[in-house]
């Protein structure tokens, strides 16, 4: 159904009406003016007629919506499509797009496999891989005249390289076909939005990518030692069924790559933009964790997710009907001046905990320890070898219906 067919019907809405398109390409690339408009519209929830959806952008409203899974369901899809009436583009995720009790067993299995304790066994290998990557760039790269710095695009040479050199192997994927992972994640995150050009432009080429992803999920495709093997062992132990196992592997392949690429790019962007704070990080390497959390707060690589109301429900002074879509602006909550002092500043003196870049509540990112370990390894390798990071040209935004990030980060690394 075209959007116009179900908008502007005479449904009474007692929330401020905001006439904008959050998925417009210009807005996706620079959403901050819209965030302010949504937060300051005068209520905890607003109505966006363009898509017949509600939206929350203030910190408290976003956080309570995230934490209220009883009234705000994920099983009807966490994108614009309402699975109660629209067919999903793929079989729904057993984690992201599920409610209790179905959500419980897959969640418990992944929490254990991706927990901070289990991840310790990957730490050494991931640290070494980061050092090899950075050392390789510093010795093999294009040397600029003058300061002996190395000029490169940090997205294609660091952010997109590192996760792909550690994560697929940790999952237990065989070599070959890894070039499908980023396009798959990009498509999946676009698919949470409307069927705009970002989605339709990919429809011609995505078929073989989907097929390859599907082929990596069965037991036979995966090495025994790795997250994938761990998932299948959980099926052997009847914690999940054999029918569920391949879909849980698919969740790792969907959510586990583009997100960390975007997260690492965001870190490099903020370190290049804040030379004084980079110097401070070099003197205090234990700040790597805070750098990552402050980066996630400011950047919120996953900008939005939806919920669907399960009953009539109140947000602030507004009553929402049952089966209404609610768009949660994680990025706007993470810069809400009601919650954060000087919210737009990258500030290592603040405590960024409580940010909602990983969500909050029962669906809070189950891969967050993986993301933190990858980002820390990259930062530690860089601060050991690199004295300064400078931009050589303005960075270019990459847009996606759900993710915000960088297509290119042209930088110079000045060796220590
Ligand atoms: C859930 C963000 C990395 C796997 C989520 C959610 C957010 C998020 C906001 C909550 C979704 C919701 O409430 O509906 C991020 C960010 C990352 C990241 C910003 C990197 C910086 C990862 C990685 C993996 C992963 C590396 C896999 C190893 C998942 C899965 C879920 C999830 C499976 C669904 C959990 C559930 O519904 O119970 N992520 N994520 N994520 N994430 Fe991440
Ligand atoms: C999934 C999943 C989880 C989180 C994010 C996501 C594409 C997918 O379980 O498939 O984004």
Higher pLDDT pick, 372 / 142: 372
pLDDT number for residue 142? 67
| Ligand that comes closest to the CA of residue 266 | 1
Q: What is the CB neighbour count within 10 angstroms for residue 390?
A: 16
pLDDT tens for 322-332 read: 999 999 999 99
Q: Would you say the CB of residue 244 lies under 6 angstroms from ligand 2?
A: no
Distance 80 CA to ligand 2 centre (A): 15
pLDDT number for residue 146? 72
Closest residue to atom 4 of ligand 2, CA basis: 255
pLDDT number for residue 64? 98
Q: Name the residue range of residue 30's domain.
A: 3-415
Closest residue to atom 6 of ligand 1, CA basis: 365
Q: Which of 64, 327, 365 to mutate to test the pocket of ligand 1 (most atoms within 8 A of CB)?
A: 365
- What three-state secondary structure class fits 52? coil
- The answer to whether residues 374 and 260 touch, using CB atoms and an 8 Å cutoff, is yes
40-67 average pLDDT score: 98
In this structure, the strands spanning 404-408 and 142-143 are: unpaired
403: DSSP letter? B
Residue 9 has pLDDT above 70, yes or no: no
- Rounded CA-CA distance 22/329 in Å is 10
Higher pLDDT pick, 3 / 349: 349
Q: In what order do the strands lie in the sheet with 150-153?
A: 142-143, 150-153, 410-415, 386-391
Q: Would you say the CB of residue 255 lies under 6 angstroms from ligand 2?
A: yes
Q: Would you say the CB of residue 185 lies under 6 angstroms from ligand 1?
A: no
CATH number at residue 107: 1.10.630.10
273-299 average pLDDT score: 98
The H or E element containing residue 170 is helix 162-171
pLDDT confidence band for 140 (50 / 70 / 90): confident
How many domains does one find in the chain? 1
Closest residue to atom 5 of ligand 2, CA basis: 255
Closest residue to atom 22 of ligand 1, CA basis: 367
- Rounded CA-CA distance 348/184 in Å is 34
pLDDT confidence band for 11 (50 / 70 / 90): low
- Residue recorded with tokens 């132990």: 237
Q: Which atom of ligand 2 is nearest to the CA of 94?
A: 9
The H or E element containing residue 388 is strand 386-391
């Amino acid at each position: 159904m075209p959007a116009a067919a179900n908008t502007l019907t005479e449904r009474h809405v007692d929330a401020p009406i905001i006439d904008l398109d959050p998925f417009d390409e210009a807005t996706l690339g620079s959403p901050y003016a819209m965030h302010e408009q949504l937060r300051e519209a005068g209520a905890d929830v607003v109505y966006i007629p363009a898509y017949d959806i509600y939206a929350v952008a203030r910190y408290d409203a976003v956080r309570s919506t995230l934490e209220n899974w009883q009234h705000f369901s994920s099983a009807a899809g966490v994108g614009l499509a309402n699975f109660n009436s629209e067919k999903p583009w793929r079989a729904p995720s057993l984690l992201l797009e599920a409610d209790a009790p179905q959500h419980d067993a897959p969640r418990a299995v992944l929490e254990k496999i991706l927990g901070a304790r289990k991840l310790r066994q990957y730490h050494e290998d991931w640290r070494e891989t980061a050092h090899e990557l950075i050392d390789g760039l510093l010795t093999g790269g294009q040397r600029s005249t003058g300061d002996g710095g190395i000029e490169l695009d940090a997205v294609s040479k660091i952010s997109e390289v590192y996760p792909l050199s550690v994560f697929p192997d940790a999952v237990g994927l065989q070599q070959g076909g890894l070039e499908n992972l980023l396009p798959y994640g990009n498509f999946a995150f676009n698919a949470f939005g409307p069927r705009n050009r970002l989605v339709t432009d990919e429809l011609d080429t995505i078929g073989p990518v989907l097929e390859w992803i599907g082929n990596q999920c069965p037991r036979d495709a995966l090495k025994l030692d790795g997250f994938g093997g761990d998932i299948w062992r959980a099926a052997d132990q009847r914690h999940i069924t054999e029918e569920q196992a391949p879909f849980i592997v698919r969740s790792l392949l969907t959510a586990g790559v583009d997100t960390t690429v975007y997260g690492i790019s965001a870190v490099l962007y903020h370190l290049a933009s804040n030379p004084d704070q980079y110097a401070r990080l070099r003197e205090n390497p234990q700040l790597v964790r805070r750098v990552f959390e402050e980066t996630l707060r400011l950047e919120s690589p996953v900008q939005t997710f939806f919920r669907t109301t399960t009953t009539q429900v109140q947000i602030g002074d507004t009553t929402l009907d049952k089966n209404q879509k609610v768009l949660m602006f994680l990025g706007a909550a993470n810069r809400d001046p009601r919650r954060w002092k000087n919210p737009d500043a990258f500030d290592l003196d603040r405590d960024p905990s409580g940010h909602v870049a990983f969500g909050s509540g029962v669906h809070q990112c189950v891969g967050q320890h993986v993301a933190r370990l990858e980002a820390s390894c990259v930062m530690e390798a860089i601060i050991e070898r690199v004295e300064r990071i400078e931009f050589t040209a303005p960075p270019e935004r990459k847009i996606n219906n759900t993710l915000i990030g960088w297509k290119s980060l042209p930088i110079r690394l000045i060796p220590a």
